[in-house]
Amino acid sequence: MRDETKCLHAGYTPKNGEPRVMPIYQSTTYVFDSTKVVGDIFDEPTQAVIYSRFANPTVMAVEEKINALEGGVGAMCTTSGQAANLLAILNICKAGDSIVSTSQIYGGTINLFAVTLEKQGIECIFVDQDADEETISAAFKENTKAVFGEVIANPAMCVLDIEKFARVAHKHGVPLIVDSTFATPILCKPFEFGADIVTHSTTKYMDGHAVQGGGVIVDSGNFDWTNGKFPELVEPDESYHGISYTKNYGKAAYIVKARMQLMRDFGCYPAANSAFLLNLGLETLPLRMERYCENALKVAKYFAASDKIEAVMYPGLEGDKYYDLAQKYLKGCSGVISIIVKGGKEKAIRFMDGLKLASNEVHVADIRTCVLHPASETHRQLTDEQLVAAGINPGMMRFSCGLENVEDIIEDIEQSLAQL
Ligand SMILES: *Cc1c(COP(=O)(O)O)cnc(C)c1O
């Protein structure tokens, strides 16, 4: 099946007389015939659904759909994108380990890595994603367990050279984890370029309608966890009657461990209702992505032609620093554009406040056009140094094109720019 077909059919195939649409399994528990059956499931938990803290049929149908779109061996949904990135790391890192991450990533993830994981004893070493392989290699230590980057960085709109990072990661015997939130599986297939694990905040384009938050981790099944660096995936898990994930689950070792161990212990599993809504969003994802990209390219060109705009960061624009990488890795550059308004922070805020159609909201990749000023909103916790490292100019604003008629979006921009 192609993506459009998968979005409608993967993950759920009703049998004779069953509902056409995947129903909402609004039940926390499941009934079994005997104590022995329950005992057997505890021995082999992938065989049945036992409890909603880590599995639910409605959520699992969506997991299968996303897994099919990415081309992986398994997926696990979480309650947020933050939870997805947290569990993706914790599944292979413990206190005393380190990770290497690009610095041009989402502010929330920088916080998670630089502050919260640091407190748990996991060190993050940040590298410039445009650095050469030697410089990136220098960030690795004996205890490095993973490399992390964003396919399209939020909000810097840098495109990750996935093959370069996969090469460096694999040379050091560790997996490459990429957050593909802005690209979605429609615009990029990171596994085809060597990424090992993909995460998404499904809160953004995948849901698409700003109705529920969520995240997902997808496992390519391609990474060899038996290379000596990841004993927790190979050696018996004491908390699971001594099973070995690689021995029992082969290629799916990572994603099965994430569910059986981390989701069991942390319980950040989405509700069936949320998965039902996410599924509705996924059904139209290919159509919507096509239009977001089309609208954004027109808007980016409009911004680029305006003498009130100092810079436009949109990798779909010819001449953009990341144009070539976008051509190589992406089928489109999403609906998000970063711009710097001439006159810095104060003018950026005036421009934002002058918009009538585009709403000022703490969101991005929404069906409605929205704007945000990272330096004074989402990224206000970052120091000036971190802002620059994350690719954020204080005058930068993030313009997220929605699915309104693009002429209306441009007219709104026009009237607000005219007031500056
Ligand atoms: C929004 C976002 C996140 C965090 O996702 P939530 O669902 O808000 O927790 C992570 N990564 C990227 C790239 C994002 O845009």
CATH of the domain at 411: 3.90.1150.10
| Ligand 1 atom closest to the CA of 365, numbered from 1 | 15
- pTM for the whole thing? 0.97
Per-residue pLDDT of the chain (420 residues; tens, 9 = 90+): 999 999 999 999 999 999 999 999 999 999 999 999 998 888 888 888 989 999 999 999 999 999 999 999 999 999 999 999 999 999 999 999 999 999 999 989 999 999 999 999 999 999 999 999 999 999 999 999 999 999 999 989 999 999 999 999 999 999 999 999 999 999 999 999 999 999 999 999 999 999 999 999 999 999 999 999 999 999 999 988 899 999 999 999 999 999 999 999 999 999 999 999 999 999 999 999 999 999 999 999 999 999 999 999 999 999 999 999 999 999 999 999 999 999 888 899 899 999 999 999 888 999 999 999 888 887 787 777 887 777 778 889 999 999 999 999 999 999 999 999
Last residue of a domain, one of 254, 280, 306: 280
Q: Which of 204, 183, 205, 201 is nearest to 193 (CA)?
A: 183
CA of 133 to the centre of ligand 1 (A): 27
Q: Which of 334, 218, 206 is nearest to 275 (CA)?
A: 206
**What SS3 state is found at 310?**
strand
Is ligand 1 within 6 A of the CB of residue 366?
A: no
Cβ-Cβ contacts under 8 Å for 399 (sequence gap 6 or more) = 299, 303, 336, 337, 338, 339, 358, 369, 371
Is ligand 1 within 6 A of the CB of residue 201?
A: yes
Strands (DSSP E) contained in 256-413 are 309-313, 336-341, 359-360, 370-372, 396-400
**256 alpha carbon, distance to own chain's centre:** 19
Last residue of a domain, one of 230, 254, 280: 280
Is ligand 1 within 6 A of the CB of residue 98?
A: no
Count of alpha carbons within 13 Å of 332, Cβ hemisphere only?
Answer: 21
Is ligand 1 within 6 A of the CB of residue 129?
A: no
**What SS3 state is found at 198?**
strand
Among 77, 80, 106, residue to substitute to test ligand 1 (most atoms within 8 Å of Cβ): 106
Q: Which of 180, 204, 189 is nearest to 331 (CA)?
A: 189
Is ligand 1 within 6 A of the CB of residue 82?
A: yes
Looking at the fold, whether 173 and 33 belong to one and the same domain comes out as yes
Euclidean distance between CA atoms 18 and 353, whole angstroms: 50
pLDDT at res. 163: 98
CA of 332 to the centre of ligand 1 (A): 19
Looking at the fold, whether 151 and 265 belong to one and the same domain comes out as yes
CA of 372 to the centre of ligand 1 (A): 14
Looking at the fold, whether 158 and 189 belong to one and the same domain comes out as yes
Last residue of a domain, one of 280, 301, 332: 280
Euclidean distance between CA atoms 250 and 257, whole angstroms: 11
**What SS3 state is found at 244?**
coil
Looking at the fold, whether 379 and 411 belong to one and the same domain comes out as yes
CA of 306 to the centre of ligand 1 (A): 30
Looking at the fold, whether 272 and 312 belong to one and the same domain comes out as no
Give, using CA atoms, the residue closest to atom 6 of ligand 1.
81
Looking at the fold, whether 41 and 116 belong to one and the same domain comes out as yes
Q: Which of 57, 148, 198 is nearest to 206 (CA)?
A: 198
Looking at the fold, whether 53 and 24 belong to one and the same domain comes out as yes
Looking at the fold, whether 18 and 97 belong to one and the same domain comes out as yes
Is ligand 1 within 6 A of the CB of residue 80?
A: yes
Euclidean distance between CA atoms 75 and 259, whole angstroms: 9
Looking at the fold, whether 13 and 144 belong to one and the same domain comes out as yes
Task: Show the domain range for 311.
Answer: 286-417
Q: Which two tokens stand for residue 368?
A: 């409605």
For residues 247 and 190, the answer to whether their CB atoms sit within 8 Å is no
CA of 82 to the centre of ligand 1 (A): 6
For residues 240 and 260, the answer to whether their CB atoms sit within 8 Å is yes
Q: Which residue in this structure is represented by tokens 């069991």?
A: 264
Looking at the fold, whether 321 and 335 belong to one and the same domain comes out as yes
Give, using CA atoms, the residue closest to atom 4 of ligand 1.
81
Is ligand 1 within 6 A of the CB of residue 109?
A: yes
- Work out how many domains the chain is built from and give that number: 2
Q: Which two tokens stand for residue 193?
A: 């370029």
CA of 180 to the centre of ligand 1 (A): 10
| Ligand 1 atom closest to the CA of 202, numbered from 1 | 7
Q: Which residue in this structure is represented by tokens 């190589």?
A: 328
CA of 200 to the centre of ligand 1 (A): 7
Looking at the fold, whether 9 and 95 belong to one and the same domain comes out as yes
Q: For the domain that residue 71 is a member of, what is the CATH number?
A: 3.40.640.10
Q: Which runs of consecutive H residues, i.e. helices, occur in 264-341?
A: 264-266, 272-283, 285-305, 323-329
User: For the CA atoms of 288, 210, 330, 391, what is the dihedral angle to 10 degrees?
Assistant: 140
Looking at the fold, whether 179 and 54 belong to one and the same domain comes out as yes
Q: Which two tokens stand for residue 22?
A: 């995947």
